[in-house]
Chain A
């Protein structure tokens, strides 16, 4: 092997293997509950603990979700599929083999589109998508001579999504993960929550001379528990490999662990790596036909994907690109937004600002997703309508939404209970206007001297005095009248 001379001549070649847990009620091959966070070994049965004599039976919803994901990623879906055994010994693998898919996965040859600079998109290939069962969890209590196994996770349906080695930088890997997660969440196949382990990622990286197709040894990096760590670990290992190659040394083909505390990758003990998985067709499961009708039904059932939505929000609804992107970033937000619009008679932009403002704030404050926020889309639409009609100020609208979320009242009830019906009565408002003028002689003088901004300060004072209930347009009009404009 000839060692490349200098770093600038090298480019990284990165591929990602992503595992997502499918959002089913029960496990892949048994009827145990698929649930995160239960007491250890609460959701186990003879099948997922690998008792002698039991057999796997495929969960049809897991198959459907896997196929939906494959379709959402633009994969070719075959007319039939089969399962294979991957054989290895580990205490979290009760049968001594994992039921997976080897040569006939659910999907082949898809892609994820990454939005690039200036509207250009970049296609990152998805080599394959396959279904397999998750392993259990092992704990290693510090200082003890034992490990502990919890099999609740054993048998949970997993979808493995293998990218083509198309990624060229850690930053691009990060963007791929964001886009992939978005698509999978849109397709409703998985929560994709890295903290709960429902999305996990391994990375492969090797370096090659720019323009060459000859790769140096490939390094696999495991234990990547956040998108940020994927990016950091890749950057670290690319630097490490570059240094080695620059010094004329070889990169070892190996598996490395990301060590978050030390911020570096370190090799796994090589003894554990002596693997020969001895894949062979799972004899307990015959081939599964994938009828064209099923594929068509699943395809028809897929929601509009993020890219298409983004385009529609900009083109048809006239939203600013940034707003549209923020809405389309997550299916729950986008769906919520569209349900507000569906209530009818509300301006797209105004609703967008409420969704991205008040609703997301509410969600973040309560640590829930948008679907967990207690503001019915119809109520939000009603509030937007009141604002549009001039019956509610923006400021008051925020309070109303917070009240709806807290109390479960309707929009009208919340407005009433907060006493926020807008003051549009000239005589009533005139009192506040006069008081504001009297209290701010400096602003009055500034305005008279030609400083238009001073008027805004006066409107603000009126709003403050009426605790936001004043109709700002009327207040402005009255102020102008008083100032003799």
Chain B
């Protein structure tokens, strides 16, 4: 994983990373990925991916409204609010 890749992934993940860190991470992530290449030795053709460990089946909930919940409490955690809205830096369309 080179610096360019690290910077590209960092952009995707919205992580500000300075140049020095980027170089260090590139080296570390390269070593990690190199180590992870050992998986290539395992033949997995035809093996179904296991997104979950068990044979779980999804269950649903009835379409019912719960009593009004803690909207005020949730907004209390928001750093900036305005007239009941969450205020964020200007989005450029």
Where the two chains meet, the residues of A that have a C-beta atom closer than 8 Å to any C-beta of B are 24-26, 30-33, 39-46, 49, 51, 57-63, 89, 91, 138-140, 144-151, 257, 268-269, 274, 276, 278, 280-281, 283, 285-289
Q: Is the CB of A45 within 8 A of B70?
A: yes
Q: Is the CB of A32 within 8 A of B74?
A: no
Where the two chains meet, the residues of B that have a C-beta atom closer than 8 Å to any C-beta of A are 11-12, 14, 51-52, 56-66, 68-71, 74-75, 80, 82-93
For the complex, would chain A's binding face be called helix, strand, loop or mixed by DSSP majority?
loop
Residue of A nearest to B80 (CB): A146
For the complex, would chain B's binding face be called helix, strand, loop or mixed by DSSP majority?
loop
Number of A-B contacts defined by CB within 8 Å? 126
Which of these, B12, B62, B65, B74, contacts A44 with CB under 8 Å?
A: B74
Q: Is the CB of A145 within 8 A of B90?
A: yes
Q: Is the CB of A286 within 8 A of B66?
A: no
Using known A-B contacts A42-B71, A51-B74, determine if residue A26 contacts B64 with beta carbons closer than 8 Å. yes
A40–B62 Cα distance when bound, in Å, is: 26
A257–B86 Cα distance when bound, in Å, is: 26
Residue of B nearest to A22 (CB): B63
A278–B9 Cα distance when bound, in Å, is: 11
A289–B90 Cα distance when bound, in Å, is: 43
Q: Which chain A positions have C-beta within 8 A of B80?
A: 146
Q: Is the CB of A148 within 8 A of B87?
A: yes
Which of these, A32, A57, A283, contacts B65 with CB under 8 Å?
A: A32
Q: Is the CB of B52 within 8 A of A283?
A: yes
Q: Is the CB of A62 within 8 A of B63?
A: yes
Q: Is the CB of B65 within 8 A of A33?
A: yes
A286–B61 Cα distance when bound, in Å, is: 14
Q: Is the CB of A147 within 8 A of B89?
A: yes
Q: Is the CB of A139 within 8 A of B74?
A: no
Q: Is the CB of B85 within 8 A of A144?
A: no
Q: Is the CB of A59 within 8 A of B63?
A: yes
Residue of B nearest to A150 (CB): B85
Residue of B nearest to A274 (CB): B11
Q: Is the CB of B85 within 8 A of A40?
A: yes
A288–B83 Cα distance when bound, in Å, is: 40
Q: Which chain A positions have C-beta within 8 A of B64?
A: 25-26, 31
Min CB gap A236→B, angstroms: 19
A147–B71 Cα distance when bound, in Å, is: 20
A62–B65 Cα distance when bound, in Å, is: 13
Residue of B nearest to A28 (CB): B63
A150–B58 Cα distance when bound, in Å, is: 30
Q: Which chain B positions have C-beta within 8 A of A283?
A: 51-52
Which of these, A147, A274, A280, contacts B88 with CB under 8 Å?
A: A147
Residue of B nearest to A136 (CB): B86
Using known A-B contacts A145-B90, A288-B60, determine if residue A31 contacts B84 with beta carbons closer than 8 Å. no
Min CB gap B84→A, angstroms: 4
Which of these, A41, A60, A140, contacts B93 with CB under 8 Å?
A: A140
A24–B70 Cα distance when bound, in Å, is: 21
Min CB gap B87→A, angstroms: 5
Using known A-B contacts A144-B90, A149-B85, A283-B52, determine if residue A31 contacts B57 with beta carbons closer than 8 Å. no
Q: Is the CB of A45 within 8 A of B61?
A: no
Using known A-B contacts A57-B60, A274-B11, determine if residue A145 contacts B89 with beta carbons closer than 8 Å. yes
